[in-house]
Structure 1
Amino acid sequence: MKRIVCLVFCLGIVGLLSGCASVRSHGYVDARVSAVNYSEDYVPDFSVLTASGDPTGMGGVQVQEFSKGGLSKNECCAPIPGAGQTMIIEWRVGGRHEAEANWKTFRKAVVVRGETSSDPKAVNRLVVRFFPEHEVEAELMWSLIGLGGRPSSRLDQLIYGRRVMRQMGD
């Protein structure tokens, strides 16, 4: 009898988890996340949330000001809303030597621009861009890896160390 109860319980858990996964995976894509900052605000951290505000597990830390390089590190990898879908970007702005209690939090819904690839030699990347006046956008792009690989032509020049300003929507 204990085995039957255990089996029913385990099957129920598997069914629940697979149901959640199928809802979550519809229109989602596995991607790396990085940020580029075209403002002079220091962004200690940011998060990528679903349209309903649920965490995706992706985000980043220490997004430098434009004058200091404007970059964050890459974070890898998690399912996030795909191109044409809405996601919420939540980020904090604060001074490096300022008390965390004084940092301000911003949260905006954005429609994800761009495209992804299902090619096994491609890497999908979400670039979150911060702009002056607390504006933000998100774009998906892909790059081929390995021999003959090439980066996306949409990738920001800051990533290559070139201080080229970009405007929202470019």
Structure 2
Amino acid sequence: MAVAISGCAVAPATTISIGANSVNYTEDYIHEYSIRKLGGEHYGIGGTQVKPFSLGGASSGDCCARLPDIGQRIKIVWKIGAFHDLRPQWKTYSKDVVIIGEPSTESKPEGYLIIRFFEDHEVEAEFVEGKKWYPANPRTDAAFSGKRIMRRKGE
């Protein structure tokens, strides 16, 4: 099988092959996050050390996993705390979200899942096709290019 631009293996049509990236639109320090099935089982993908928005906010994560396609639900679990807090001081949050994004033009979708963290412990997950990554796609957050442009959930 061919290897995707993002380095992910080709997936069946009911899933998308992705690498994870994240943007933090809060002033929380996100020590780690994981992408899971609704029952809590790990997909084996997530990220760490997502800085507060004022310090850049963008972070790359793991590669690669097969996840449900656009329109299907996943669970995001993340842990926040001050930068120097020890693990017992971290607070854990979790939210079930629907994967949003434009359907792929490819028969075997490959790309990135952008996990966006917002105030009030809101989160969203958006699929961006690999060949349409920034700057080719305005859906790719400006934070990935070092620009601090605030975004709200659903924008």
Structure 1 unaligned blocks of 5 or more: 1-23
Give me the CA root mean square deviation. 2.2
1:152 lines up with 2:137 in the alignment:
yes
What fraction of aligned residue pairs are identical, expressed as a percent?
A: 38
1:165 to 128, 143, 150: 150
Report the equivalent of 1:114: 101
Cα distance, 1:60–1:74 mapped onto 2, change above 3 Å? closer
The answer for the alignment partner of 1:80 in structure 2 is 67
- Number of the residue aligned with 1:138: 125
* 2:92 paired residue among 78, 83, 105: 105
- Structure 2, gaps ≥5 residues long: 1-10
Q: What displacement does 1:51 show?
A: 2.1
Report the TM-score, using the length of structure 1 for normalisation: 0.77
1:49 counterpart residue number:
36
Bigger share in helix: 1
Letter in 2 for 1:78: A
CA distance in structure 2 between the aligned counterparts of 1:41 and 1:49, rounded to whole angstroms:
21
**1:101 & 1:166 partners in 2: Cα distance?**
31
